[in-house]
A and B are shown apart, each in its own frame.
Chain A
Amino acid sequence: GEEVAQTPKHLVRGEGQKAKLYCAPIKGHSYVFWYQQVLKNEFKFLISFQNENVFDETGMPKERFSAKCLPNSPCSLEIQATKLEDSAVYFCASSLTTVNSPLHFGNGTRLTVT
């Protein structure tokens, strides 16, 4: 597609429950990025993929967060045992390459942990 599609738009989970977010990048884009935007607008980089391979995972809290980009499937971000501080909007972005190629963002998934 021509847009980055993120589902669901909203997700509510009780503390300790699992949350799974999905992202379909723009067709033909090789790179996928996940960012977390907390209440004060700050974007935190989580992880990026080049096709199905992890490209950069320096921002990923590895204890409870995991992500995948498998061929012919939407990419996913999974949070095991959610905590209150995981409440945020999670954005997915995709780009064609890493050179001269802007990031195209989806509209995000708002995760609320109660």
Chain B
Amino acid sequence: QQQVKQSPQSLIVQKGGISIINCAYENTAFDYFPWYQQFPGKGPALLIAIRPDVSEKKEGRFTISFNKSAKQFSLHIMDSQPGDSATYFCAASREGYSTLTFGKGTMLLVSP
């Protein structure tokens, strides 16, 4: 049973456009939702994270939107740049537990 479903699998966006990646979770005990960015040959790096007490969190060009009732959250990358080309993973965990359950990843390509 896949607990965090991520879509799309891949995404091509023009430079300056908005990249949107969606995730849905099943386990209502999850209360921490991070997004990780991974470049080839590197480990994933935390990009931004949200907890269910807020519906949106913004850090620079990156925004997480969270819908608790729908059990969905999404990453928006505004003004996408070629340097944003990477694989993005959503994840979820329970407070005090830290073990992350990852989505299957989205390969983002931002064309110049």
Contact = CB atoms under 8 A, between A and B. Distances in A.
Chain A CB count within 10 A is highest, among B43, B45, B104, for B43
A11 B89 CA distance: 25
B69 interface: no
Interface of B is mostly: loop
Interface of A is mostly: loop
A98 B98 CA distance: 5
A40 B104 contact: yes
Interface residues of A, number: 24
Indicate the size class of the contact surface on chain B.
20 to 34
A41 B95 contact: no
Interface of A: 4, 31, 33, 40-43, 45, 48, 56, 58, 91, 93, 95, 98-99, 101-108
28 contacts: A4-B43, A31-B98, A33-B98, A33-B99, A40-B104, A41-B104, A42-B102, A42-B104, A42-B105, A43-B89, A45-B100, A48-B99, A56-B97, A56-B99, A58-B99, A91-B43, A98-B95, A98-B96, A98-B97, A99-B96, A102-B34, A102-B46, A102-B49, A103-B98, A103-B100, A105-B43, A105-B45, A106-B43
